[in-house]
């Protein structure tokens, strides 16, 4: 047996009633904390991306004592900074029929009916306030000549609801949140601890009461105690080694919380982005995303014949296969991310790929629009491509390939964003809540800021209203145990002195995951992967070599701890993918497809959130059934 | 949203002279005063081409400015006081900023930086020292006459002619180097002063750089014309 | 390609550092500069030596974490490029390449090529924000912003805070960084109420951190991966002089 089934769970915080009124009701029913008491309550926020920075700033403004931690050298460097496209909001500034309800509907549908209606509706409601907040902070969104905000349609949406700042929306939003955070640091409500990594969660009497952190510069491991803990530590795409995530992105904070009792939901839901720059060789350390907007004018093709190694210009039109246009005449090159990704994989598996990649050709667009127009639209992307590959996309077609980009799964949270450990809140990509089995473009930034600015600062009050909680003695058994387990693990890693580097293990793990738990998953493949992961993990704990010591900056040691946790997560991802025998969103099971080869959902058996409990032995599955009152599940079709 | 830019006069009230921006403002304002003097001085110098009478008359006239309200040489002493104050401020700010810059990089790069900024920009400090040394010599030579072969304060034209006589080629050489140093100093200094006082557009930067270049070339040409004219016997 | 890297090794902030030469072989022209360091570190680890510590994160030129001085130039020879986006095709087989950390008193070396850039955070903390507490915002369209102002603000706001400007400046000044934020917020109507206190306080924090003063040499903008123009410093100077005309505008 790979897993056990436990009791079902339910979200007990979401109020009933008409969906439009639920967030108001929850805000009213949640208890408040007297401003004088807030000064006596300490909240730890781990991570300083959009969710973490905005939450820490807002909690600081409310008067809580906030301690903020990040592994980077500055809170401004969290990986939210790399988001390119934009942020959705149901402003309907274009009068094109958008509304809160439509954004809600699109998001539930886009998530392939594997998210909660209540959460998603709240997200759509709050989206409107996010834009106001960011503009007030001085975020320089793109504007039109009249001085009003510009919008664009993104990721195949039929309305223009995406706000953007050139191709650097994530950067600008994060800098807004970072500046708000620094303002609170100056005000003394937030203390910032950069270059600190959370390595364990401290749970006392069933409540999250602190964290164990390592000062990455001095190596000192300490316990930090508080009244509540907020994790805003992002996603786990780096389990694949190669992804569009930053090199430092890791699962350790959420995984350690999972091992302390927080359920991990839908770990197999990962998003693979179709337009990334392919690997150039075995040295590749990360993959770079190119904006999806390229598919608006570029045409995707591969040679008709397998093994055709002629230069692209030498392949005549008749011997090219514009496979997306052929298979999906209605949407053509603009099919959703998961479909475009899988199609690329399939043609490469047939041996028709260009190495690991397919062509994205602008030759027709240059003829049709003129080079100047193409340059105007995509100039900066072409430049980026040329910088990385050394090839000129005006002359030679681009090569693209899918890459892991975002993880929809994460720690299970209720409507209040509280995990199954009391006092442990999880926000942003680190939780599982809003995107179901697939995230829509420009929705990650929206969710991160919704959680951090507006949702958590309201819901956490209800929990903190019971505080301040009794002071935790640093000699308390749970605290001592957490500290000891962290230091023991560090010592063990350093003592191994084996004959393989951390990265060699990480690469190998990534390969297993990409091959068997990537774009297409099968029963056989997943079982094989689980076996391989287990033996590789054993090998890791016998043969890894971590140079240096634990009392100074030791980047190999940092990576070793993260990879050790990725091993455990990887296995759970495979178990989750194996148990979910349907295809939905980013999760494609080869056994569950329509005769045309499209993803086939199985609402009868799988309309639930799979929340996994850590037992130390086989994981235990707790199901949270999903109910759809407002959006009726339907099968997607892009033919 | 934009209000009018600050005028040079505002700077006097800057309370933050201790800040780096305040110090460079001081440099900019004092530098501009010194440049204005250089322009006036050069125009005066060119009288040498009109003839000995005109040149000497000009020198005497300088002492008579403001009479009878001001005593003899009164204006000149005011101007000297202002210039000395500007010079002291300029050198003080430069020294303070240079010391600060040195402290800001205690360990230097092992690999020498290749050239990126202009030669003029990188030689401001040593160029400034050369100019200062020259200015001291120049005053002792042609103002007080101590180092001049003639040293007749009543007939400056003769002093100048004697100074740049062909056999005293080394004086001309030193003078030329110093004037070129002034040119380089102003080519970056003038642009930098304008930037420091709030010039903040790309087009304005181009204009400022052009003006700085023209001013530098013009001043160099004006100043060098005198000794070379003496040397080749055009003035004598 | 085969290269010789002469890399600055320094054990800690107070330790003495030196350049150590390493030979790296089989470098692919498609590798990024950081991937060469990765490769070297894999080898050093297996040889029982300490790998070279260097900062990096996103490896796509936006987080600002990476940055080393390559042959005397911050971020290396390519214009508008961060170290992570610098590829080896810009070097020649047999080259000897010097790799040093950002050097500034305000950026003490943590280890090898890693420096502490916390001083930049302190400059922002001093006033690099608009005081707009969550929940207080009017509708985003309540205040139109002329496109020219919005675009200019954006240009300045693209600063990634990598610190290359400080590394390149002959005076060790962070004025380009400071000016970028002053210009970003100063060009927007939302930034007006705090415009004067912002510039005074940020310059004071800049000076307190031990950065040098600006002399408008432009070395900073030559290495800036985002091409922040030198004009932003003119804007800062202008704002500073205006704010200084009437004293006591600073918050502190």
Sign of the C-alpha dihedral computed for residues C139, C141, C143 and C145 taken in this order: positive
Please check whether residue C166 lies inside any domain of the structure.
yes
Count other Cβ atoms within 10 Å, centred on residue A508.
17
Contact residues for A618 (Cβ-Cβ < 8 A; gap 6+): A1, A2, A3, A4
- Give catalytic status of residue A337 as yes or no: yes
Question: Which among C51, C59, C120 is the nearest to A547, CB-wise?
Answer: C51
Contact residues for B96 (Cβ-Cβ < 8 A; gap 6+): B23
**Looking at the structure, do residues C126 and C233 belong to the same domain, yes or no?**
yes
- What pLDDT score was predicted for residue B116? 65
Q: Chain B residues with CB inside 8 Å of C20's CB?
A: none
**Looking at the structure, do residues C7 and C102 belong to the same domain, yes or no?**
yes
**Looking at the structure, do residues C209 and C127 belong to the same domain, yes or no?**
yes
Q: What is the CATH number of the domain that holds C66?
A: 3.10.20.30
The residue-averaged pLDDT of A497-515 equals 97
Quote the DSSP letter at residue A431. B
pLDDT digit string (tens) for B155-208? Answer: 999 999 999 999 999 999 999 999 999 999 999 999 999 999 999 999 999 999
- Model confidence band, residue A467 (pLDDT cutoffs 50, 70, 90): confident
Contact residues for A602 (Cβ-Cβ < 8 A; gap 6+): A581, A582, A592
- What pLDDT score was predicted for residue B6? 43
Count other Cβ atoms within 10 Å, centred on residue C47.
8
Please check whether residue C251 lies inside any domain of the structure.
no
Looking at the structure of chain C, the number of domains it has is 2
Please check whether residue C21 lies inside any domain of the structure.
yes
Q: Which residues pair with A143 in a beta bridge?
A: A149
- φ, ψ for residue B173, nearest 5 deg: -60, -45
d(CA C99, CA C101): 7
d(CA A397, CA A209): 55
d(CA B232, CA A119): 92
DSSP three-state, residue A558: helix
Domain that holds residue C231: 118-245
- Model confidence band, residue A355 (pLDDT cutoffs 50, 70, 90): confident
Q: How far is CA A480 from CA A42, A200, A204, A423, in A?
A: 20, 12, 11, 20
- φ, ψ for residue A152, nearest 5 deg: -140, 160
Nearest CA in chain A to C113: A553
Let me know how many helices (H) and strands (E) chain C has, helices first: 8, 7
Q: Which run of H or of E encompasses B75? A: helix B74-104
Angle between helix axes C195-208 and B20-45 (nearest 10 degrees) is: 90
The residue-averaged pLDDT of A366-392 equals 91
Give the end-to-end CA distance of chain C in Å, rounded to a whole number. Answer: 55
Q: Chain B residues with CB inside 8 Å of C234's CB?
A: 195-196, 198-201, 204-205
Most confident residue range from A48-62, B115-129, C231-245: A48-62
- What pLDDT score was predicted for residue A326? 95
- What pLDDT score was predicted for residue B14? 45
Nearest CA in chain B to C200: B16
- Model confidence band, residue A381 (pLDDT cutoffs 50, 70, 90): confident
pLDDT digit string (tens) for A297-324? Answer: 999 999 999 999 999 999 999 999 999 9
Q: Is the ipTM reported for this complex over the cut 0.85?
A: yes
- Would the CB atoms of C237 and B196 count as touching at under 8 Å? yes
Angle between helix axes A523-543 and A502-516 (nearest 10 degrees) is: 170
**Looking at the structure, do residues C127 and C14 belong to the same domain, yes or no?**
no
Based on its alpha-carbon atoms, the radius of gyration of chain C, rounded to whole angstroms, reads: 20
Q: How far is CA A108 from CA A12, A136, A410, A412, in A?
A: 20, 29, 17, 18
- Would the CB atoms of C150 and A143 count as touching at under 8 Å? yes
Catalytic residue among A214, A337, A521, A559: A337
Question: Average model confidence (pLDDT) for chain C?
Answer: 95
**Looking at the structure, do residues C226 and C122 belong to the same domain, yes or no?**
yes
**Are the beta carbons of A114 and A626 closer than 8 angstroms?**
yes
- Cα dihedral A450, A453, A454, A455 in deg (nearest 10): 70
Place of tokens 């740049």: B164
- Would the CB atoms of C38 and A503 count as touching at under 8 Å? yes
Please check whether residue C8 lies inside any domain of the structure.
yes
d(CA C220, CA B79): 38
Q: Is residue C67 within 8 angstroms of chain B, CB to CB?
A: no
Count other Cβ atoms within 10 Å, centred on residue A507.
17
Sign of the C-alpha dihedral computed for residues C115, C119, C125 and C129 taken in this order: negative
A427 has a pLDDT exceeding 70: yes
**Looking at the structure, do residues C140 and C236 belong to the same domain, yes or no?**
yes
**Looking at the structure, do residues C42 and C59 belong to the same domain, yes or no?**
yes
Place of tokens 């060789």: A281
d(CA A390, CA A397): 12
The residue-averaged pLDDT of A397-415 equals 97
- What pLDDT score was predicted for residue A433? 87
Q: Chain C residues with CB inside 8 Å of A387's CB?
A: 78, 81, 85, 87
Nearest CA among A550, A578, A572 for reference residue A493: A550
- What pLDDT score was predicted for residue B15? 52
Structure tokens given for A507: 């690469």
**Looking at the structure, do residues C61 and C10 belong to the same domain, yes or no?**
yes
- Show which of C87, C110, C133 is a domain's final residue: C110
Burial class from Cβ neighbours inside 10 Å (0-12, 13-18, 19+) for residue C181 reads buried
Q: Per this entry, what is the length of chain A?
A: 639
Please check whether residue C252 lies inside any domain of the structure.
no
Count other Cβ atoms within 10 Å, centred on residue B221.
12
CATH assignment of B13-105+117-231, given 3.40.50.150, 1.10.4100.10, 1.10.510.10, 1.20.1300.10?
1.20.1300.10
| Helix then strand then coil, % of chain A, to nearest 5 | 40, 15, 40
- Kindly give the residue spans of alpha helices, DSSP state H, lying in A147-202: 169-187
**Looking at the structure, do residues C21 and C122 belong to the same domain, yes or no?**
no
Sign of the C-alpha dihedral computed for residues A565, A568, A570 and A576 taken in this order: negative
Q: How far is CA A28 from CA A58, A414, A459, A527, in A?
A: 19, 17, 10, 48
The residue-averaged pLDDT of B67-79 equals 91
Domains annotated for chain A, with CATH where assigned, are 273-404 (3.90.700.10), 477-607 (1.20.58.100)
Please check whether residue C145 lies inside any domain of the structure.
yes
- What pLDDT score was predicted for residue C225? 97
Q: Is residue C69 within 8 angstroms of chain B, CB to CB?
A: yes
Question: Which among A136, A148, A178 is the nearest to C190, CB-wise?
Answer: A136
Give the end-to-end CA distance of chain A in Å, rounded to a whole number. Answer: 40
Place of tokens 């998003």: A271
Please check whether residue C235 lies inside any domain of the structure.
yes
**Are the beta carbons of A595 and A445 closer than 8 angstroms?**
no
Count other Cβ atoms within 10 Å, centred on residue A339.
20
- Model confidence band, residue B3 (pLDDT cutoffs 50, 70, 90): very low
Please check whether residue C209 lies inside any domain of the structure.
yes
Q: Is residue C144 within 8 angstroms of chain B, CB to CB?
A: no
Q: Is residue B62 within 8 angstroms of chain C, CB to CB?
A: no
**Are the beta carbons of A22 and A122 closer than 8 angstroms?**
yes
DSSP three-state, residue A302: strand
- φ, ψ for residue C115, nearest 5 deg: -120, 160
A638 has a pLDDT exceeding 90: no
pLDDT digit string (tens) for B81-104? Answer: 999 999 999 999 999 999 999 999
Place of tokens 């490029």: C81
**Looking at the structure, do residues C47 and C92 belong to the same domain, yes or no?**
yes
Distance from CA of C130 to the nearest CA of A (A): 5
The residue-averaged pLDDT of A340-369 equals 93
Nearest CA in chain C to B94: C215
- The β-bridge relationship of strands A65-69 and A42-46 is parallel
The residue-averaged pLDDT of C69-76 equals 96
d(CA A440, CA A447): 11
d(CA A516, CA A560): 23
Q: What is the CATH number of the domain that holds C218?
A: 1.10.1060.10
Place of tokens 């006092």: A423
CA geometry: angle at A218 spanning A212 and A223, to 5°?
15
Q: How far is CA A521 from CA A372, A591, C202, in A?
A: 43, 9, 54
Structure tokens given for A608: 């639930």
- Would the CB atoms of C150 and A140 count as touching at under 8 Å? yes
- What pLDDT score was predicted for residue B16? 64
- Kindly give the residue spans of alpha helices, DSSP state H, lying in A315-390: 323-327, 337-349, 363-369, 371-389
DSSP three-state, residue A625: strand
Place of tokens 């949203």: B1
Best A138, A184, A218, A278 member to test C by mutation, with max C CBs in 10 Å, is A138
Question: Which among C172, C213, C229 is the nearest to B23, CB-wise?
Answer: C213
- Model confidence band, residue B2 (pLDDT cutoffs 50, 70, 90): very low
| Helix then strand then coil, % of chain C, to nearest 5 | 35, 15, 50
- The β-bridge relationship of strands C96-100 and C69-70 is antiparallel
């Amino acid at each position: 047996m790979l897993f056990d089934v436990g009791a079902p769970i339910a979200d007990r915080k979401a109020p009933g009633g008409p969906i439009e009124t639920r967030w108001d009701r929850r805000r009213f029913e949640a208890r408040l904390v007297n401003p004088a008491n807030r000064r006596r309550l300490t909240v730890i926020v781990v991570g300083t991306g959009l969710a973490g920075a905005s939450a820490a700033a807002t909690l600081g403004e409310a008067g809580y004592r906030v301690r903020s931690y990040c592994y980077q050298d500055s809170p401004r460097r969290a990986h939210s900074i790399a988001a390119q496209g934009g942020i959705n909001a149901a402003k309907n500034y274009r009068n094109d029929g958008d509304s809160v309800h439509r954004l809600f509907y699109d998001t539930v549908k886009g998530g392939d009916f594997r998210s909660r209606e209540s959460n998603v509706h709240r997200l759509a409601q709050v989206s409107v306030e996010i834009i106001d907040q960011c503009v007030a902070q001085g975020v320089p969104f793109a504007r039109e000549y009249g001085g009003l905000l510009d919008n664009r349609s993104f990721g195949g949406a039929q309305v223009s609801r995406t706000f953007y700042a050139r191709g650097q929306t994530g950067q600008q939003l994060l800098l807004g949140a970072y500046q708000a955070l620094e303002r609170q640091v100056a005000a003394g409500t937030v203390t910032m601890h950069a270059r600190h990594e959370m390595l364990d969660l401290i749970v006392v009497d069933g409540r999250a009461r602190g964290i164990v952190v390592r000062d990455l510069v001095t190596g000192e491991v300490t316990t930090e105690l508080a009244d509540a803990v907020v994790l805003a530590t992002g996603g786990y795409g780096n389990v694949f080694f190669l992804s569009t995530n930053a090199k430092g992105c890791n699962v350790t904070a959420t995984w350690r919380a999972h091992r302390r009792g927080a359920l991990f939901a839908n770990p197999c839901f990962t998003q693979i982005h179709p337009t990334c720059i392919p690997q150039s060789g075995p040295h590749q350390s990360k993959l770079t995303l190119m904006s999806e907007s390229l598919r608006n004018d570029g045409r995707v093709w591969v040679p008709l014949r397998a093994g055709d190694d002629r230069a692209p210009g030498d392949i005549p039109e008749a011997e090219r296969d514009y496979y997306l246009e052929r298979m999906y005449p209605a949407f053509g090159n603009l099919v959703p991310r998961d479909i475009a990704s899988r199609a690329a994989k399939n043609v490469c598996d047939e041996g028709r790929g260009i190495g690991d990649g397919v062509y994205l050709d602008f030759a027709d667009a240059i003829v049709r629009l003129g080079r100047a127009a193409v340059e105007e639209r995509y100039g900066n992307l072409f430049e980026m491509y040329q910088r990385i590959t050394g090839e000129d996309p005006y002359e030679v077609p681009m090569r693209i390939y899918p890459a892991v980009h975002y993880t929809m799964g994460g720690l299970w949270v209720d409507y209040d964003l509280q995990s199954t450990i009391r006092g442990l809140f999880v926000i942003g990509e680190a939780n599982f809540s809003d995107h179901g089995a697939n995230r829509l473009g420009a929705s990650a930034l929206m969710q991160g800021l919704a959680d951090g600015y507006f949702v958590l600062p309201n819901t956490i009050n209800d929990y903190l209203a019971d505080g301040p909680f009794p002071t935790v003695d640093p000699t308390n058994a749970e605290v001592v145990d957490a500290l000891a387990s962290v230091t023991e693990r560090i010592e063990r890693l350093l003592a191994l002195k084996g004959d393989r580097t951390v990265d060699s293990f990480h690469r190998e793990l990534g390969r297993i995951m990409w091959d068997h738990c990537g774009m297409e998953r099968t029963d056989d493949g997943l079982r094989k992967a689980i076996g391989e992961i287990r033996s590789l993990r054993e090998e890791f704990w016998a043969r890894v070599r971590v140079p240096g010591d634990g009392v100074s900056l030791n980047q190999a040691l940092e990576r070793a701890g993260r990879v050790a946790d990725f091993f455990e997560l990887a296995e759970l991802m495979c178990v989750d993918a194996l148990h979910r025998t349907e295809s939905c969103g980013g999760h494609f099971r080869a056994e569950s497809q329509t005769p045309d080869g499209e993803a086939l959902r199985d609402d009868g058996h799988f309309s639930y959130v799979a929340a996994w409990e850590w037992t130390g032995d086989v994981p235990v599955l707790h199901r949270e059934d999903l109910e759809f009152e407002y959006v009726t599940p339907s099968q997607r079709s892009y033919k | 949203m934009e209000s009018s830019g600050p005028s040079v006069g505002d700077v006097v009230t800057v309370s933050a002279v201790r800040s780096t921006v305040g110090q460079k403002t001081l440099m900019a304002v004092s530098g501009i005063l010194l440049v204005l003097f250089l322009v006036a001085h050069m125009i005066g110098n060119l009288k040498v081409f009109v003839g000995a009478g005109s040149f000497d008359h000009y020198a005497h006239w300088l002492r008579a400015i403001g009479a009878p309200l001001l005593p003899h040489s009164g204006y000149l002493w005011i101007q000297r006081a202002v210039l000395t104050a500007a010079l002291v401020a300029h050198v003080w700010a430069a020294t303070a900023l240079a010391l600060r810059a040195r402290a800001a990089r205690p360990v230097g790069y092992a690999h020498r930086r290749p050239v990126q900024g202009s030669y003029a920009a990188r030689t401001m400090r040593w160029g400034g020292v050369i100019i200062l040394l020259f200015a001291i010599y120049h005053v002792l030579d042609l103002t007080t006459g101590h180092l001049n072969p003639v040293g007749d304060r009543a007939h400056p034209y003769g002093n100048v002619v004697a100074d740049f006589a062909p056999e005293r080629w080394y004086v001309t050489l030193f003078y030329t180097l110093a004037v070129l140093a002034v040119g380089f100093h102003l080519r970056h200094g003038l642009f930098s002063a304008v930037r420091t006082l709030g010039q903040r557009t790309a087009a304005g930067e181009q204009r400022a750089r052009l003006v700085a270049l023209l001013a530098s070339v013009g001043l160099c040409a004006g100043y060098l014309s005198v000794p070379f004219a003496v040397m080749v016997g055009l003035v004598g | 390609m085969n290269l010789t890297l002469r890399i600055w090794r320094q054990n800690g902030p107070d330790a003495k550092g030196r350049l150590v030469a390493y030979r790296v072989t089989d470098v692919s022209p498609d590798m990024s500069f950081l991937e060469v360091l990765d490769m070297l570190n894999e080898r050093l680890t297996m040889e029982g030596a300490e790998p070279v510590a260097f900062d990096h994160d996103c490896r796509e030129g936006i987080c600002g974490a990476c940055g080393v001085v390559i042959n005397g130039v911050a971020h290396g020879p390519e214009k508008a490029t961060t170290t992570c986006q610098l590829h080896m095709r810009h070097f020649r087989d047999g080259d000897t390449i010097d790799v040093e950390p950002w050097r500034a008193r305000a950026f003490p070396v943590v280890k090898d090529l890693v420096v502490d850039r916390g001083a930049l955070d302190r400059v922002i903390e001093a006033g690099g924000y608009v005081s707009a507490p969550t929940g207080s915002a009017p509708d985003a369209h309540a205040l139109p912003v002329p496109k020219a102002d919005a675009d200019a603000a954006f240009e300045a706001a693209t600063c990634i805070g990598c610190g290359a400007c400080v590394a390149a400046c002959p005076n060790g000044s962070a004025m380009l960084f400071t000016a970028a934020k002053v210009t970003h917020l100063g060009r927007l109507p939302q930034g007006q109420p705090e415009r004067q206190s912002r510039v005074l306080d940020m310059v004071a924090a800049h000076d307190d951190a031990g950065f040098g003063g600006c002399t408008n040499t432009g070395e900073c903008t030559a290495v800036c991966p985002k091409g922040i123009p030198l004009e932003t410093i003119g804007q800062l100077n202008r704002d500073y002089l205006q704010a200084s005309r009437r004293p006591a505008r600073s918050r502190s």
